[in-house]
Structure 1
Amino acid sequence: MIPSILGFGLFGAACLAFTEKISPVPPSHVLLLFLGMTAAPDMQTLVALMFATMIGSTLGSMIWYAGGNWLGPDRADAFVRRFGKFVFLKHATYHRLTQAYRRNNFRASLVAQLVPVARTYLALEAGVLRLSFLPFALATLCGALIWNSAFLVGGYLMRDGDHDPVTIGFRIVAIVVAAEIVFLLALRHSTRRPAEDRPPGEPPR
């Protein structure tokens, strides 16, 4: 399937990046590593792949943004409660992302593009909160370029070496999962106000 899509060149690579952004399958890190190893014979093509996948990833995020804008806060919350488990989005995770987003939407949009789960679904909350589109789109574009380029370059550097793609893929999955756990723990900590900052009588969260 993927080789057939790549037959369309940069447009096919952009379509794969778009698909990855609106669906949890295939995982982005594995897909981008594969593209770097197989679809970039030279540096010029590698750079073109970076920008093609950046555009595809950003457009995928815009789909989530538009969906969140249409749903609104109440329907979005109910939607995640009912269907989030089917796309690996827990309601508790969604709620924490929402709290963090209200503090700094541009920085959150940028950082989210470097974190699994958040990089896909935070765009939904951006739409739900009706955040300003231009800053969100710019942050998403920059974050997607950083994330995509890192894995594309990694794959490109390994293309001529004696590396086992399966082993490499599992190692990357382990690293990404660890990064996700660290991010969620930090997010959980950041959404809790210290006891001294809470008004008297307010129970801990």
Structure 2
Amino acid sequence: MEDWIIRLVEWGHYWGVALLMLLETIFPPIPSEVIMTVAGVSSARGTMNLAGTIAAGTAGAMLGNWIWYWVAVKFGEKRMQIFIERYSRWLTLDWNEVERGQRLFRTHGSIIVLIARMLPTLRSLISIPAGLFGMTFRRFMIFSTIGTAGWTAALACAGYFLGSQFKDVEKWLGPISTLVIAGIVLTYVWRLVRWKPSSVSKPLDARSDTHPEA
């Protein structure tokens, strides 16, 4: 997979890095581990500036983060409840569970977003609960940018200082990403087998519509 990534980075430079990180955020199977380490190698060779490379990667990823956040906000909490009630068996959760997660997110949403931005797969997905659970756009952008910049900087610097040995980074991060994805899949299967609905929660309109900042 890294061959076409290398070609796009060499052809598009900063624009190529930003585009790849945008795609990686929207389609998580595209590995940012490879994108940013390749970009870091290019920076070490003088093709690009390291700071510019990190900025381009962060900007591309943040655009993708904003897209997911916007989609979640537009989808809305009421549509979410209808969707969950209709497909609760296959989603392995009901509205009571969502409300528990919602309370947790509204209390610790900022730190959850910050940490998730530096974890495989969750980097992209965390934008959805942030938008659905009423996290303010300002807080979302601040903590997402900090976490995203930290992740892209770490990978770019690894590629920059390792030079042509950037595959050593992928050798470790690749299996970690695979383990995280496998853990998510296994957890879903386990929940699918054991899941039973809890008591029916009261209708959305009957609850308070207040949304304190996360």
Same fold (TM over 0.5): yes
Aligned to 1:172: 173
> In the alignment, does 2:135 pair up with 1:131?
yes
Q: Offset of 1:25 from its aligned partner?
A: 2.5
Kindly provide the amino acid, as one letter, of the partner of residue 140 in structure 2.
Answer: F
**Kindly tell me: are residues 52 and 118 of structure 1, through their superposed partners in 2, closer, same or farther at Cα, counting changes over 3 Å?**
same
* Paired residue secondary structure (2:76): helix
Checking the alignment, whether the CA contact within 8 Å between 2:5 and 2:35 is kept in structure 1 is no
Residues 111-152 of structure 1 deviation map (CA, whole Å, 9 limit, x = unaligned): 111112221111111111221101110111111110011111
Residues 20-70 of structure 1 deviation map (CA, whole Å, 9 limit, x = unaligned): 111113122222222222354249711110111111111110000000001
Of 10, 16, 22, which aligns to 1:12? 16
Checking the alignment, whether the CA contact within 8 Å between 1:36 and 1:156 is kept in structure 2 is yes
The structure with more radius of gyration: 2
Kindly report which structure 2 residues correspond to 1:14-29, keeping only aligned pairs within 5 A, or say none: 14-29=18-33
> In the alignment, does 2:150 pair up with 1:146?
yes
Kindly provide the amino acid, as one letter, of the partner of residue 174 in structure 1.
Answer: P
Aligned to 1:192: none
Residues 162-205 of structure 1 deviation map (CA, whole Å, 9 limit, x = unaligned): x7x2x642322223456786xxx9xxxxxxxxxxxxxxxxxxxx
* Percent identity between the two aligned chains: 23
Alignment partners' CA distance in 1, 2:92 and 2:24: 21
* Paired residue secondary structure (2:12): coil
Aligned to 1:197: none
Structure 1: runs of 5 or more not aligned: 186-205
* Paired residue secondary structure (1:8): helix
Kindly provide the amino acid, as one letter, of the partner of residue 175 in structure 1.
Answer: I
Alignment partners' CA distance in 2, 1:12 and 1:138: 24
> In the alignment, does 2:159 pair up with 1:158?
no
For these two proteins, the number of residue pairs brought into alignment is 172
Question: Structure 1 length normalisation: TM-score?
Answer: 0.70
Residues 67-105 of structure 1 deviation map (CA, whole Å, 9 limit, x = unaligned): 0001112434638x97xx9xxxx766x958656422212
Checking the alignment, whether the CA contact within 8 Å between 1:109 and 1:136 is kept in structure 2 is yes
Deviates more, 1:117-126 or 1:40-49: 40-49
Question: Structure 2 length normalisation: TM-score?
Answer: 0.67
**Kindly tell me: are residues 168 and 4 of structure 1, through their superposed partners in 2, closer, same or farther at Cα, counting changes over 3 Å?**
closer
Alignment partners' CA distance in 2, 1:97 and 1:39: 41
Kindly provide the amino acid, as one letter, of the partner of residue 145 in structure 1.
Answer: A
Structure 2: runs of 5 or more not aligned: 188-214
Aligned Cα root-mean-square deviation (Å): 3.3
Q: Offset of 1:160 from its aligned partner?
A: 4.3
